[in-house]
Amino acid sequence: MLELRNLAVRYGAVQALEDVSLQARAGSITAILGANGAGKSSMMRAVSGIAPVAAGQVLLDGRDITGLPAPARAKLGIAHAMEGRRLFRQLTVEDNLKLAWSFGARRVAWPTALAEVYGRFPILEAKARTLAGLLSGGQQQMVILSCTTIRSPRCLLLDEPSLGLAPIIVQQIYGFITEYAAQSGIIVVIAEQMAALALKVSQQGLVLRRGRVVLHGTSADLLRGNDGKALAASYL
């Protein structure tokens, strides 16, 4: 389980996150929602160790990891697909995957790990020797997702995986995430601006506004009933 206890993130005078608590169980998907600047990415960065934690704690499977630097958290199995489709654009698809695998737990041998990725996304096998920077946005997102899963993570943080992609590609990406989460039994946390999309695949949702939690409940409750109105209002 991933647990946040009264987490706060500050960048100098900017208070990006304040008093955020959350429990995300293994085998479940948690959606982090909110408008631009709400604090979604800051929350993820605080979990993976690349944003300064000003107050509160982050626990992974009961262990307090708040004081650990990012590489140590990565070794414990926290994999973070950051916003803005970050990959090595000058390296081939396969080299991106190999690099990610080499930084992971290496629980699965390289040829098997690679075959798994290509089994899931055959287009990546066809583009294995293409520079990642030359791929389409959707294909780049497939590489990024695969770079996290190839590390056999315990906790997967996906920051706006749908951003800038065509609806059909978004469907494919989300189909993959849902299937992977169910089959791997790990903790999955997704930050999204497209609330309905993320709530459909997740079990719980948390809405941030100006760094604070304004709504938190099961995804089903947030999607319908009175909370549906509250969801819309929380974005205003």
Ligand X SMILES: Nc1ncnc2c1ncn2[C@@H]1O[C@H](COP(=O)(O)OP(=O)(O)OP(=O)(O)O)[C@@H](O)[C@H]1O
**Residue with token string 């497209």:** 194
Rounded-to-integer distance, Cα 51 and Cα 31, Å = 20
Applying CB under 6 A, does 14 fall inside the site for ligand X?
yes
Rounded-to-integer distance, Cα 68 and Cα 66, Å = 6
Applying CB under 5 A, does 95 fall inside the site for Mg ion?
no
Nearer to ligand X, 39 or 153 (CB): 39
Site string for ligand X, 17-46 (x = CB under 6 A): -----------------x-xxxxxxx----
Contacts for 183 with CB less than 8 Å, ≥ 6 apart:
none
Q: Which of 122, 114, 128, 134 is nearest to 172 (CA)?
A: 122
Applying CB under 6 A, does 116 fall inside the site for ligand X?
no
3-state SS, residue 168: helix
Nearer to Mg ion, 10 or 25 (CB): 10
Chain residues 169-198 in contact with ligand X, contact rule CB under 6 A: 193
Nearer to Mg ion, 20 or 97 (CB): 20
Contact 157, 48 (CB under 8 A): yes
Applying CB under 6 A, does 83 fall inside the site for ligand X?
yes
- Across 169-202, b (16+ Cβ under 10 Å) vs e yields bbebbbebbeebbeebebbbbbbbbbbebbbebb
For the CB of residue 196, give the shortest distance to ligand X in the complex, in Å.
16
The item of ligand X, Mg ion, none sharing an interface with residue 80, based on CB under 5 to 8 Å by kind, is none
Stretch that binds ligand X, among 10-18, 71-79, 91-99, 127-135 (CB under 6 A): 10-18
> Both ends of the chain: CA-CA distance in Å?
32
Strand ranges of the sheet holding 212-218, from the earlier edge strand across to the other edge: 78-81, 155-159, 187-192, 29-33, 204-209, 212-218
Nearer to Mg ion, 11 or 110 (CB): 11
Query: Could you tell me how many residues of this chain bind Mg ion (CB under 5 A)?
Result: 3
Site string for Mg ion, 41-80 (x = CB under 5 A): x---------------------------------------
Nearer to ligand X, 11 or 110 (CB): 11
Return residues touching Mg ion (CB under 5 A).
40-41, 83
Return residues touching ligand X (CB under 6 A).
11, 14, 16, 34, 36-42, 83, 193
